[in-house]
Amino acid sequence: MEGFNEKEGQLYVDDLPIAEIADTYGTPAYIYSGSRIQKNFNKYADALREGDLICYAVKANSNIHILKRLAQLGSGFDVVSGNELKRCIEAGADPKRVVFSGVAKSSEELELAINEEILSINIESEDEFDRIISISETLNKETKCSIRINPDIPTGSHKYIETGLKTSKFGVDTETLKNISLKAKNREFIKITGLASHIGSQISDNSLIMKSLEHLLTAHKLLLNDGHDINFLDVGGGLGITYKDEIPGDPKSLISEISKEIESLNLHLILEPGRSITGAAGALIAKVEYMKLTDYKNFAIINAGMNDLMRPALYDSWHEVKEIRKSDSDGRLYEIVGPVCESADVLAKERELNISQGDLIAFMDTGAYGSVMSSNYNSRLSVPEIIVDGSSAKIIKKRQSFEESIALEKNL
């Protein structure tokens, strides 16, 4: 079976009992299903027209082994830092299938992107555009760019993951779009080849992205009138997954709707999915260290904390928690807390579980914005990552040692 499933009273990933993985690699640890990643990617790939492109959002999960798998499946990549670009190149990605977003690209990062001749640098401000001109002229190299517009569209998701509002730092308004378009007309080394927009994450309503598309098409007319040859529209990513009771996004229906709107315009489509490819393909496993039962509430104190999984503390997000070995007897309501010395170190509240000291539990749907957001706070060590294909497990990131964690501070 692909992905996470229960059989014979145990939680499995593909055909491998998770308890066996814990015995081999210890806890805490992140586990991924290779088959689920491929299935999620193919939901997009199978719906695309010829010439369209998936650019996986590297920020969701940047493990180089996962990037390599996606590159082999034909994925392009959406990066938001120079080091993410370097990771993609290290993973064997074609730079001509990479787009570079983000509001604070340094001169060094822009120079790297220009020298690698990536598909597009997504312009987020007029100042950034001026810097790109200067670097391109110094390098004597043509640079392909897209302009990221800000359509001022609310998505209704958490305020930290809404990126298309006029109060957001991302993208440019109409006046700035016009200024950049006019500046680019007479520049030898700059080509505006696309338009981009990304309004946020955890979107299940196609109409929100279709509204964003309307703004892109209006901007497309403006750029055509200014003489630019636009090849593609990048509608961003953001399709949601089901953490609790959310309706997941539907790549096939979204791509179909967009394709109908642009089929007469000789434009290709770029999408930047991240969470919807790796999110449900991952789980964080942990061990119950102590039980603390009080008159007010019952605590299950585990060996994974907010430094390993930041989303509950940062977004008050909900992740399903499952026992790795099931029991038929009734459970108790627990607050699941970690070892970090912060009151925010609560990974789940009011979960009915049948667990005891030493038992293993899994936080589901942590394949995106899980490991990548972890830290060494409280001098805790980063945890390993394991990918499973069928009944075979492979470590793709080793557990950090204490010596490795302080190496940059020693012998200065």
- Mean pLDDT over 117-132 rounds to 95
> CA torsion, points 39, 43, 47, 48, in degrees to nearest 10?
-80
Determine the pLDDT at residue 325: 92
Over 50: is that where the pLDDT of 151 sits?
A: yes
Q: What is 102-271's CATH number?
A: 3.20.20.10
Over 60: is that where the pLDDT of 162 sits?
A: no
Determine the pLDDT at residue 1: 64
Determine the pLDDT at residue 157: 45
Alpha helices in 57-125 (DSSP H): 64-72, 82-90, 107-116
> Active-site residue among 55, 88, 145, 341?
341
Q: Taking each helix axis from N to C terminus, what angle separates 126-139 and 174-185, rounded to the nearest 10 degrees?
A: 20
Over 70: is that where the pLDDT of 163 sits?
A: no
What pLDDT, in 10s, does the model give residues 176-234?
999 999 999 888 899 999 999 887 777 878 888 888 888 899 999 999 999 999 999 99
What percent of the chain lies above the pLDDT cut of 70?
95
Determine the pLDDT at residue 168: 64
Dihedral sign, Cα of residue 399, residue 405, residue 408, residue 411: negative
Determine the pLDDT at residue 100: 97
Q: Which two tokens stand for residue 134?
A: 């200067």
Name the phi and psi angles at 346, rounded to 5: -120, 115
Dihedral sign, Cα of residue 131, residue 137, residue 141, residue 145: positive
- Mean pLDDT over 165-178 rounds to 76
Domain with CATH 2.40.37.10 in the chain: 4-32+279-409
Over 50: is that where the pLDDT of 20 sits?
A: yes
Cβ atoms < 10 Å from Cβ of 356: 10
What pLDDT, in 10s, does the model give residues 57-91?
999 999 999 999 999 999 999 999 999 999 999 99
CATH 3.30.70.330 fits 4-32+279-409, yes or no: no
Over 80: is that where the pLDDT of 116 sits?
A: yes
- Mean pLDDT over 257-273 rounds to 92
Q: Which has more confidence, 248 or 378?
A: 378
Domain with CATH 3.20.20.10 in the chain: 102-271
Choose the most confident range, by mean pLDDT, from 148-157, 203-212, 298-307.
Answer: 298-307
Determine the pLDDT at residue 170: 75
Determine the pLDDT at residue 154: 44
Over 80: is that where the pLDDT of 356 sits?
A: yes
Determine the pLDDT at residue 276: 95
Determine the pLDDT at residue 153: 52
C-alpha dist (Å) from residue 235 to 46, 95, 161, 254: 18, 20, 16, 11
Longest dimension (CA), the chain: 74
Is 341 a residue of the active site? yes
| Burial annotation 181-220 (CB, 10 A radius, 16+ → b, else e) | beebeebebbbbbbbbbbbbbbbbebebbebbbebbeebb
Report helix, strand or coil for 322. strand
Determine the pLDDT at residue 5: 95
- Mean pLDDT over 318-344 rounds to 91
